[in-house]
Amino acid sequence: MPKIRLQKYLSQCGVASRRAAEKMIDEGLVCINRRLATIGESIDPEKDLVTVKGKAVKPQSFHIYIALNKPRGYISSCSSSQGACLTDIVKIERKFFPVGRLDKESEGLILLTDDGELANRITHPRYGCEKEYEVTCAEELKAEELKEFRHGIMLEDGKTKPCKIRPAGENKYSIIISEGKKRQIRRMFQHFGKKVIRLKRTRIKGFRLGSLGTGQWRTLSGSEILELRS
């Protein structure tokens, strides 16, 4: 059987996305045949034993795909060590992880899965996956500020890619970005001294939150999964 990159294998096993798997390898949590693994290694799934924190991992025979309308006050994690988390809402026997994140005070669409390949297609910068948000801020953006949004804003970790933004009501805006810097939208508004009061994600690629109520979740259909994979 052809060899496969270790981080790709871990994502196929539902352990984490590829980038998160690389971090786990770097932190010394992954072993190949009982020796510490290193980033960049490849394995033969039929011959090599891969363990994470001492437990053997194998590819899932099938994956789960869930859309959740995350309420405020929940962290985008499956661990309760830092407070209320996603597994407090989605209570199923299978393990899963969030595809991308929303900070604790943000709400809206978040995808949950154990399919690392799909997570990689949505979160890796090279795919330029669009994500749409509804933003309410304390005061109106000026015309020149809207223009800067559309051309890119210089933040402390680099310039943002041009985004799409349009007014959607009093001090409300619809904004579409194709990258995922940490707390990016809040920091973009903060750059102009504008405080974000409410931040809600409504779309990831072609998948929309729709009528899913706050705190509700559902499994995705086959056609929805294919759309996210495209």
Catalytic site residues? 103
Map 23-63 to HEC letters. Answer: HHHHCCCEEECCEECCCCCEECCCCCCEEECCEECCCCCCC
Please state, in angstroms and rounded to a whole number, the distance separating the CA atoms of residues 49 and 43: 9
Token pair of 52, please?
Answer: 């994470």
Q: What is the largest CA-CA distance in the chain?
A: 61
Token pair of 229, please?
Answer: 């994979």
CB 69 within 8 A of CB 213: yes
Q: Is 108 helix (H, G, I), strand (E, B) or coil?
A: strand
